[in-house]
Amino acid sequence: MASFSTLLVLSSVFLLTVLFIILFFLLHRRNPSLHLPPGTTGLPLLGETLRMITAYRSGRPEPFVDDRLRLYGCRLFTTHLFGELTVFSADPDFNRLVLAGEGRTFESSYPSCISTLLGRRSLLLMKGALHKRMHSLTLTRFASPQAIRSSLLPGIDQLIRLNLRSWGGSVRLLDQAKKVAFEMMVEQTMSEGPGEWTEYLRRHYNALIDGFFSVPLFAFLRFTTYGRAIKARKKVAEALMELVKRRKEEKMRETEDEAESRKKDMVDELLEADEGFSEEEMVDFLLALLVAGHETTPIMMTLAVKFLTDNPSALALVKEEQKEIRGRKKDELEALEWSDYKAMPFTQCVVNETLRVANIISGVFRRSVADVHYKGYIIPKGCKVFASFRAVHLDENYFDDARTFNPWRWLDQNNMRKDGSQQAGGAPTFTPFGGGQRLCPGYELGRVEVSVFLHYLVTCFSWEVAEKDKLVFFPTTRMLKGYPIHVQCHRSL
């Protein structure tokens, strides 16, 4: 009996080993029949995911890409990430094809655990004609200078000052920046000011966001991060649903004069849209806007301060520029205006350089919806693609001394386009806000918010780093400890 079980164990081990070897060779094949770009698929099932995560958590992710570009002599390589064969692109021409081909050759692709949290009808997941319509509505609302100047900037100025007024002693910059950014998004989309309701929404929203960066196992168990996130999503959606219903009723009772004299927001746009969106669609849409605006701008605020702190000569120039703007104001407490924002050339260089070096969104995942032929390779239909903006932004071929923070490089902005992207030859090489049909609708708003924040920070405060911190790039770009600083206020705001 004992010898039979030994035989059984041995033959199972043998079978498993053979299976492992076959799988290993299958996954490591260069797949010549498909003509995919060169590469390796790493370990069975895990692929190169762990290697990639280790690199991006180390604060020095570049070798992961550099080594492969050198090894394969090509700006595209095949790898295996998060359970899927993935074509990784460090090629600006290919990235342009990916961004411009939205809906025809590529489409955005998020894992189902993310779509569950976002909601099926969020802008980030929408496709086709409805996406086009909603995207342009969002662009008009958030990216037009007219909308920013007249309706968004006064609120941004007020909320930033209100928050900074309570600053003193030790501050975890990222947490504080997130609080301001959340209040700004809620104000801009739903005209709700800071207070009990916004804080309630923020508390549940934070639990929801934790779910984005957790392993979605055992979602039905409430004590797992993902399980809590699902529960929090329900709370956020309920609160937004109540708001939508209330606003709908108010709108029905409103006279024409009242409607005309009132400042419009994103909820108005949705309620007035010809499509007649359902309440659920509006809730998903508003939630996605909160996520898109809140998970980006505060990181940029924190990193801009970090880079300025590390570069005293750049900080001195920003201070000089901002003090000059403040000096031109009649009243010390006068709000910033669009013309002030337009008179901050060096601060804009700092914003660009922060976006380039730190890459808040390091790239975008897509899935090919047709076979794509590119430079002799075929990316087959259904293949996952990662268009890395970071790899291009930090490439010496496009930016001199590419891995050094140097805001002065942006002083000559002749080749900058309206959306902030930069053209070199045929393809954009600076695409912090993506491009094509999914171009970030907050590309100008994000810049305005960071610029106003820097204005009040440098004109009213001095600060020093309170704790050593580290910049990491996984699961998102951020300072690991949230960049703790000691601040001292010198001027009332």
Listing from the earlier edge strand, what are the strands of the sheet with 484-489? 169-172, 484-489, 461-465
The residue range among 83-91, 329-337, 357-365, 457-465 that interacts with ligand HEM, by the rule CB under 6 A, is 357-365
Residue type, 332: E
349 is in an annotated binding site: no
3-state SS of 344-391 is CHHHHHHHHHHHHHHCCCCEEEEEECCCEEECCEEECCCCEEEEEHHH
Q: How, if at all, do strands 363-368 and 106-108 pair?
A: antiparallel
User: Can you name the residues that pair with 488 across neighbouring β-strands?
Assistant: 462
SS3 of residue 427 by DSSP: strand
Residue 292 or 454: the one with the smaller Cβ distance to ligand HEM is 292
Residue 219 or 291: the one with the smaller Cβ distance to ligand HEM is 291
Q: Is 445 in the site for ligand HEM (CB under 6 A)?
A: yes
Query: Residue 441 Cβ, how far from ligand HEM at the closest point, in Å?
Result: 5
Contact positions with ligand HEM (CB under 6 A) in 110-129: 123-124
Q: Is 209 in the site for ligand HEM (CB under 6 A)?
A: no
Q: Is 364 in the site for ligand HEM (CB under 6 A)?
A: yes
* Among 362, 339, 369, residue whose Cα is nearest residue 478: 362
Buried b (16+ CB within 10 A) or exposed e, 385-395: bbbbbbbbbbb
Q: Is 442 in the site for ligand HEM (CB under 6 A)?
A: yes
Q: Is 205 in the site for ligand HEM (CB under 6 A)?
A: no
Query: How many whole angstroms from its chain centre is CA 170?
Result: 27
The residue range among 36-44, 193-201, 229-237, 436-444 that interacts with ligand HEM, by the rule CB under 6 A, is 436-444
Q: How far apart are CA 144 and CA 141, in angstroms?
A: 7
Q: Is 360 in the site for ligand HEM (CB under 6 A)?
A: yes
Q: Is 179 in the site for ligand HEM (CB under 6 A)?
A: no
Q: How far apart are CA 493 and CA 332, in angstroms?
A: 8
Q: Which of 226, 433, 461, 483 binds ligand HEM (CB under 6 A)?
A: 433
Under DSSP, the state recorded for 436 is G
Q: Which of 289, 303, 308, 394 binds ligand HEM (CB under 6 A)?
A: 289
Residue 296 or 347: the one with the smaller Cβ distance to ligand HEM is 296
Q: How far apart are CA 58 and CA 51, in angstroms?
A: 11
Query: Residue 438 Cβ, how far from ligand HEM at the closest point, in Å?
Result: 4
Q: Is 438 in the site for ligand HEM (CB under 6 A)?
A: yes
Q: How many chain residues touch ligand HEM (CB under 6 A)?
A: 24
Query: Residue 86 Cβ, how far from ligand HEM at the closest point, in Å?
Result: 15
Residue 41 or 297: the one with the smaller Cβ distance to ligand HEM is 297
Residue whose CB is nearest to ligand HEM in the complex, by number:
442
Tell me the CA distances in angstroms from 301 to 304, 445, 463, one per residue in order. Answer: 5, 13, 15
Binding-site entries for heme: 440
Which residues lie near ligand HEM (CB under 6 A)? 108, 123-124, 135, 138, 142, 289, 292-293, 296-297, 300, 360-361, 364, 432-434, 438, 440-442, 445-446
